[in-house]
């Protein structure tokens, strides 16, 4: 049974210090998992882990996507839709509009749709990482959207 999870870490610029402190606090637990980050967040996470671990960047189990505003949020959303993310830690900024607000909304929407455990601030991230389910083999139930996928479109019935 594989308890190693694919954990996404993302933070907006004003929240990156918060995430760096949180990663520093939880580095030992995080290193047991595969980390997926948007570009700038990922560089900061790798730096924080390197400071702790004295390791080389490449030796961490970490995937760096594009920077959020350049498509990173969408890449992460696509990974969620493909079942490739088991937890999302996303410190989004409640005080500043982002140029890619629509992508932020889409990412959070897909995390909700696919029932991905999601933390949006330090306290919820603390609860998430300290849950026994985080290190266990928990599989979230995803709603059955068969009815939606196979719906009949009025006026377009197949002959």
Ligand X SMILES: O=C(CO)COP(=O)(O)O
Q: Which residues are annotated as a binding site for substrate?
A: 12, 16, 38-41, 67-68, 100
d(C-alpha 82, C-alpha 85), whole Å? 8
d(C-alpha 98, C-alpha 7), whole Å? 23
The CB density around residue 81, as the number of other CB atoms within 10 Å, is: 12
Report the residue from 5, 6, 12, 33 that binds ligand X according to the rule CB under 6 A.
12
Number of residues that bind ligand X (CB under 6 A): 12
The contacts of residue 82 (CB under 8 Å, 6+ apart) are none
Q: Which stretch binds ligand X (CB under 6 A): 26-34, 66-74, 130-138, 144-152?
A: 66-74
Whether residue 126 lies in the annotated active site: no
Catalytic machinery residues? 73
Applying CB under 6 A, the residues found at the interface with ligand X are 10, 12, 38-41, 67-69, 72-73, 104
């Amino acid at each position: 049974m594989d308890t190693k999870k694919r954990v996404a870490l993302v933070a907006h610029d004003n929240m990156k210090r918060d995430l760096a402190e949180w990663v520093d606090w939880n580095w030992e637990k995080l290193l047991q998992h595969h980390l997926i980050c948007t570009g700038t967040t990922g560089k900061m996470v790798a730096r924080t882990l390197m400071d702790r671990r004295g390791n080389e960047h490449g030796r961490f189990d970490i995937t760096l996507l594009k920077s959020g505003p350049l498509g990173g949020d969408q890449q992460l959303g696509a990974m969620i839709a493909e079942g490739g993310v088991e937890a999302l830690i996303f410190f989004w900024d409640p005080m500043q509009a982002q140029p890619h607000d629509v992508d932020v909304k889409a990412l959070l929407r897909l995390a909700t749709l696919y029932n991905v455990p999601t933390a949006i601030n330090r306290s919820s991230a603390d609860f998430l990482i300290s849950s026994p389910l985080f290190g266990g083999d928990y599989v979230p139930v995803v709603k059955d959207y068969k009815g939606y996928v196979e719906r009949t479109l009025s006026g377009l019935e197949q002959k």
